[in-house]
């Protein structure tokens, strides 16, 4: 299969993850933000102006979220060593016990004022509940390129929770925040996205990323390094 985009760290495929995922070799960690099945209205122009608006003109994401019009079934993702999925409470009955990651999106004084105060992710390791306040979504509110685009800093925190993620795959890559975070940390990652427009967005974003010194402390062991370098990994 020919990648839509590829560099030394990131590969992006345009297509259906249910078809592409089984062909990928060496994936250890799934990190993603799948469609929740909430039939989300992605025309944000309804929030423009007024006392509850952002003071500007909201964007109409005409492409929307493919697959969000029906309940999400995560079963095709659960066989991997590490699985971290946002939207946990929408499909919790399909998941086993694990850790819950809470992304707090706003200051306390703004709780209850507009849409959700936080978002939940499920991680198939451990049993705790862990919170992370990241308000950077406000900085990208007018420039984000996907209706559910996550902050890169948030996705770096998620990856850090995994400790030793190996090869990461985001099967619902969207605008590529998981991929950008992985590349910044010097990790290899694969993104799969069904909408070509978002593949283009993700490719442009990762292309401009400079690899930082890994924020993550765990180092792959020799066996893990061998897995990442095995022939055919990126085919």
- DSSP per-residue letters across 171-184: TT-TT-HHHHHHHH
Give residue 68's pLDDT band: very low, low, confident or very high (50, 70, 90). Answer: low
**Which DSSP category does 132 fall into?**
E
Q: What pLDDT, on a 0 to 100 scale, did the predictor assign at position 167?
A: 98
Q: What pLDDT, on a 0 to 100 scale, did the predictor assign at position 192?
A: 98
Q: What is the pTM of this model?
A: 0.81
Q: What pLDDT, on a 0 to 100 scale, did the predictor assign at position 74?
A: 96
Calpha distance 229→209 (Å, rounded): 22
Calpha distance 26→70 (Å, rounded): 30
Domains of the chain: 5-229 (3.40.50)
Calpha distance 71→123 (Å, rounded): 20
Identify whether the C-beta of residue 234 lies closer than 8 Å to the C-beta of residue 6: yes
Calpha distance 67→45 (Å, rounded): 22
Q: What pLDDT, on a 0 to 100 scale, did the predictor assign at position 46?
A: 56
Of 60, 2, 3, the residue nearest 206 (C-alpha)? 3
Calpha distance 154→103 (Å, rounded): 8
Distances (CA, A) of 106 to 22, 111, 136: 38, 7, 9
Mean pLDDT of the chain: 83
What pLDDT digit, counting tens, does each position of 78-125 carry?
Answer: 999 999 999 999 999 999 999 999 999 999 999 998 788 999 999 999
What pLDDT digit, counting tens, does each position of 221-233 carry?
Answer: 444 444 443 433 4
């Amino acid at each position: 299969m020919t990648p839509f985009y590829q560099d030394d760290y990131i590969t992006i495929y345009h297509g259906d993850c249910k078809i592409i995922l089984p062909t990928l070799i060496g994936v250890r960690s799934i990190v993603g933000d799948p469609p929740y099945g909430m039939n989300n209205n992605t025309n944000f122009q309804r929030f423009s102006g007024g006392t509850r608006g952002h003071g500007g003109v909201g964007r109409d994401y005409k492409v929307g979220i493919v697959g969000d019009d029906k309940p999400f079934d995560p079963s095709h993702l659960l066989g991997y060593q590490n699985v971290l999925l946002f939207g946990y409470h929408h499909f919790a009955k399909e998941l086993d016990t694990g850790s819950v990651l809470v992304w707090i999106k706003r200051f306390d004084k703004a709780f209850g004022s507009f849409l959700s105060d936080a978002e939940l992710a499920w991680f198939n390791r451990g049993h705790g509940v862990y919170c992370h306040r990241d308000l950077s979504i406000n900085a990208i509110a007018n420039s984000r390129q996907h209706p559910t685009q996550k902050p890169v800093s948030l996705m770096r925190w998620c990856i850090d929770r995994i400790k030793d993620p190996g090869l990461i795959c985001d099967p619902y890559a969207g605008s590529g925040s998981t991929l950008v975070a992985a590349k910044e940390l010097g990790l290899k990652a694969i993104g799969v996205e069904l909408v070509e427009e978002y593949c283009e967005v993700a490719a442009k974003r990762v292309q401009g990323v400079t690899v930082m010194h890994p924020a993550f402390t765990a180092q792959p062991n020799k066996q893990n390094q061998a897995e990442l370098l095995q022939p055919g990994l990126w085919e």
